Amino acid sequence: MSMGTRDCGTDTRQDTRLDEKGRPLAVVPAKVPWVALGVFVLVAGCLAWVACLPLWISGEGLKNMVAVQLCGQAMMLAPLVAVIAAMIVQRKRAKRRGIPQPGVARYLGIWPLRPARRVVGFTLLALFGTFVLVALAYFLSAAFGWVRLDLAGLSGFKAQLGQLLPGVENLPIGLGIVIYLGLMVFSTLVTAIFTFGEEVGWRGWLLTSLRPLGTWPALIIVGVIWGLWHAPLILLGYNFGRPDISGLGLMVIGCVMVGILLGWLRMRTGSLWPAVFGHAAINGSSGMLLGLFIDANSPTPDMALVALLGAAGWILSAVVAIILVATGQFRRQPELSIGPPPPVIVTRTEADAPTAAETGDLATTYESSL
């Protein structure tokens, strides 16, 4: 038995059920579609460099933050385009071999949103749980002496509040914090539009396509590819301030560690959406929570140490992953539900009613109608 089969709580590759269009309900392929995978990596990587090319040829690098944001957002849509190219190749090759393929939305974990309680519950867990992890990374960093926080006075927050939200500095500090955190949540929800472009590639198509290798090989490979894909920005000094191979190495390790948790969300629910909002929460909260907690007189922290993608985040991600393994969470990998069967309308037909001699006085005959 392969590792992929052993790791799954339900062996989806042995599930031969079909939907109403004759497509498999199970999404894990029997084999890794290597040709399509090569197409995916090539397209995603090339488009990432194309999206960031203006930052390189202008000579400004990261100096123009508006340009960085625009290029970064364009870059985040590259995996979505790569998924389209890869699935065209994958499905054409499968059709030539007579291998039925699951629906596209189901393969990617986009749809259906069933069971709704599981999908919605884990999506909320991903959203707010990620906020907690980001905050814990800063607290852990403070414990190690990597950053100086001011949790009592919030001096850093007060110093920047007027610049971030003009007029709010005159409000009570508690209300200012509520507005600030509300803005963080709103920013995260908007960011989810772009993290969908990434996650549909990493945890939607790529992780699903690699699952025949087994849970852990698939998670690690996705994390490595995800980290290397960030090279156009990391090699400019983005995230860690190290515009060289060391910065890229840090990003790969960070993506592997965080990717394990996002991958678990995808496999534990069968849905892509928890990973989308978990990823968005990282992007939307990392800078804002640091701004909330940091001491106004603290030196600029080394993000290779204090960020969720840095050393503090590696430690936290490892702890969470160990807990998930110990509690058997990685063994539970259900598929999305097919939903309840269509309702059966029962009506009594007088013509077909049996006689009392056949069934007795209390007998009634019903006919199913679709």
The tens digit of pLDDT for each residue in 155-165 reads 999 888 777 76
Query: How high is the pLDDT of residue 356?
Result: 44
Domain that holds residue 68: 3-340
d(CA 90, CA 262): 24
24 φ, ψ to 5°? Answer: -60, 140
Task: Evaluate whether residue 355 is within a structural domain.
Answer: no
Two structure tokens written together for 76 = 């985040």
d(CA 292, CA 181): 9
Rounded to 10 degrees, what is the CA torsion of 306, 311, 315, 321? Answer: 110
In this prediction, residue 176 has a pLDDT band, given cuts at 50, 70 and 90, of confident
In whole numbers, what is the pLDDT of the chain averaged over residues?
A: 88
Task: Evaluate whether residue 188 is within a structural domain.
Answer: yes
Query: How high is the pLDDT of residue 337?
Result: 82
Query: How high is the pLDDT of residue 11?
Result: 41
Residue 125 predicted with pLDDT over 50: yes
Residue 357 predicted with pLDDT over 80: no
In this prediction, residue 16 has a pLDDT band, given cuts at 50, 70 and 90, of confident
The tens digit of pLDDT for each residue in 31-72 reads 999 999 999 999 999 999 999 999 999 988 999 999 999 999
Q: 3-state DSSP call for residue 366?
A: coil
Mean per-residue pLDDT, 103-124 = 96
Amino acid at 1: M
Task: Evaluate whether residue 243 is within a structural domain.
Answer: yes
Task: Evaluate whether residue 354 is within a structural domain.
Answer: no
Residue 350 predicted with pLDDT over 90: no
Query: How high is the pLDDT of residue 347?
Result: 54
Asked whether 24 and 102 are in contact (CB, 8 A), the reply is yes
Task: Evaluate whether residue 360 is within a structural domain.
Answer: no
In this prediction, residue 342 has a pLDDT band, given cuts at 50, 70 and 90, of low
Beta bridge partners of 294: 149
d(CA 370, CA 350): 19
The number of angstroms, rounded, from the C-alpha of 73 to the middle of its chain's C-alpha atoms is: 16
The tens digit of pLDDT for each residue in 308-325 reads 999 999 999 999 999 999
Total domain count, the chain? 1
In this prediction, residue 20 has a pLDDT band, given cuts at 50, 70 and 90, of confident
Residue 304 predicted with pLDDT over 60: yes
Q: DSSP states of 197-229 as a string? A: HHHIIIIIIIHHHHGGG-HHHHHHHHHHHHHHH
Asked whether 222 and 259 are in contact (CB, 8 A), the reply is yes
The tens digit of pLDDT for each residue in 179-235 reads 899 999 999 999 999 999 999 999 999 999 999 999 999 999 999 999 999 999 999
The tens digit of pLDDT for each residue in 92-110 reads 999 999 999 999 999 999 9
Mean per-residue pLDDT, 236-243 = 96
In this prediction, residue 360 has a pLDDT band, given cuts at 50, 70 and 90, of very low
Residue 10 predicted with pLDDT over 70: no
Task: Evaluate whether residue 222 is within a structural domain.
Answer: yes
**Between residues 173 and 81, which one has the greater pLDDT?**
81
Task: Evaluate whether residue 363 is within a structural domain.
Answer: no
Asked whether 228 and 298 are in contact (CB, 8 A), the reply is no
The tens digit of pLDDT for each residue in 129-141 reads 999 999 999 999 9
Residue 361 predicted with pLDDT over 70: no
Task: Evaluate whether residue 356 is within a structural domain.
Answer: no
